[in-house]
Structure 1
Amino acid sequence: MGLLGEILLLPAAPVRGAGWVLRQVVAEAERQYYDPAAVQRELSSLAEQLDQGLIDEAEFDRREDELLDRLEVAQQRRAAAPGSGFAPPSNEGRTS
């Protein structure tokens, strides 16, 4: 782009910076949401709630299915981008 382009885009720098920050926050939130250790902890907590009678079998099954889906997406991400820890799920159809 060059110096002239950078000078012309200088007024948009705060917007570009805010966009970068927003992308970083979203990436970190997704990383934490799909973290296999976090999903395992939630599954363990869910089993404890069922054992203590705090939830019924139907609620357990529904929430367990959601957590297992998250775990599957986490494994797909790891397979798609080894070492990076982040890759969008292939079924979301997002473009960058």
Structure 2
Amino acid sequence: MGLVSEVLLLPFAPVRGSAWVIGQVLDEAERIYYDPATVRSELARLEELLETGEIDEEEFGRREDELLDRLETGLHGGVGTGDGTAR
């Protein structure tokens, strides 16, 4: 941008900065959400809930399908690192 544009847009700098920070937070949250290691741990926890009787087969199946969809997205979309950390 030119100098004139920068001067004219200066009052909006906090808004632009906030939008950038929000975008970074959303990107990181998405990486963690689709991280294969995170999804696998959630699948293990879901199985524990089924074994202890806290959820029934129907609830287990529904939630398992959602987690498997997330796992597939994470593995094929490349958003997670697979080691429990997000980058």
Number of matched pairs: 81
Point out the structure with the larger helix share: 2
Aligned to 1:91: none
- 1:1-96 equivalences under 5 Å are 1-78=1-78
Greater relative contact order structure (CA < 8 Å, 6+ sep): 2
Q: Secondary structure at the match of 1:74?
A: helix
**What amino acid maps onto 1:64 in structure 2?**
E
Give the % identical residues: 60
- How high is the TM-score relative to the length of structure 2? 0.85
Q: Which amino acid counterpart does residue 30 of structure 1 have in structure 2?
A: E
Q: Please report how far the alpha carbon of residue 67 of structure 1 lies from its aligned counterpart in structure 2 after TM superposition.
A: 0.2
Give the gaps of 5 or more residues in structure 2: 80-85
The 2-side partners of 1:24 and 1:73 are apart by 20
Q: Which runs of 4+ in 1 moved over 4 A?
A: none
CA RMSD of aligned residues (A): 1.7
How far does the alpha carbon of each residue in 1:24-51 deviate from its partner, in whole angstroms, 9 at most, with x for none? Answer: 1111111111111110000001111111
